[in-house]
Amino acid sequence: QQQVKQSPQSLIVQKGGIPIINCAYENTAFDYFPWYQQFPGKGPALLIAIRPDVSEKKEGRFTISFNKSAKQFSLHIMDSQPGDSATYFCAASPVQSSASKIIFGSGTRLSIRP
Amino acid sequence: EAGVTQFPSHSVIEKGQTVTLRCDPISGHDNLYWYRRVMGKEIKFLLHFVKESKQDESGMPNNRFLAERTGGTYSTLKVQPAELEDSGVYFCASSTGFNYGYTFGSGTRLTVV
């Protein structure tokens, strides 16, 4: 079964809007929650990540909100730009080590309209 | 530094044929991972090498898939014989293992017809 559930599958937002992508997980052994951004023809690239000991992390226009009790986390993109159009993957990794495998969500194809 | 290099970038083969994908990790990265994304679904873990040893191969779908990492440098993933359901994008990633920072390659798009 899918360990990290991501929604929506696709999202269209006007420039300047705030797209929100949501993810949920079940496994309490997950200890690291990264978001990856993928442009067409490229591999996923780490965008921002959070550990469960904080409820929010902000890097530039990108913010992760984390709700440990609900086992949910989300990505917000402030002042979205057409260049943000990409596929976004949430992910989670167990606590064993920093070299552990990453479990990905199914991805959200985001399109920012000019 | 050079990134993770994968080739070929695309491969179209017939069902029953054999295909070998190659990944060159970032120099000095002991950890090498293979992942696969089937159309529209999640990126799924296949296996993890630490140097030349298989650390975790729990994601390998069946014995038609064989991964090797000779001398702890580049890695190959062979599919023999290929089936239609093997179609997808195969990603390789590497890391130092001292933090969670994977670097992914651009992937190999495999189409089995």
Identify all chain B residues contacting A39, using CB atoms and an 8 Å cutoff: none
> Which of A34, A42, A44 lies nearest to residue B43, judging by beta carbons?
A44
Query: CA nearest A49 in B: which residue?
Result: B100
Note the pLDDT tens digit of each residue in B67-110: 999 888 999 999 999 999 999 999 999 998 766 678 999 999 99
Q: How far apart are the C-alpha atoms of A87 and B1, rounded to whole Å?
A: 25
Cα–Cα distance measured from residue A104 to residue A114, given in angstroms and rounded to the nearest whole number:
29
> Pick from A9, A45, A49: which is nearest to B100 by CB?
A49
pLDDT of residue B39: 86
DSSP A4-71: EEEE-SEEEEETT---EEEEEE--TTEEEEEEEEE-TTS--EEEEEE-TT-SEEEETTEEEEEETTTT
What proportion of chain B, given as a percentage, has pLDDT over 70?
A: 96
The closest of B75, B60, B112, B109 to B89, measured between CA atoms, is B109
Distance (Å, whole) CA A62 – CA A17 = 13
* CA atoms lying within 13 Å on the CB side of residue B73: 3
Average pLDDT of A32-37? 94
Write down the mean pLDDT value for chain A. 93
Phi, psi torsion values for A112, nearest 5 degrees: -105, 115
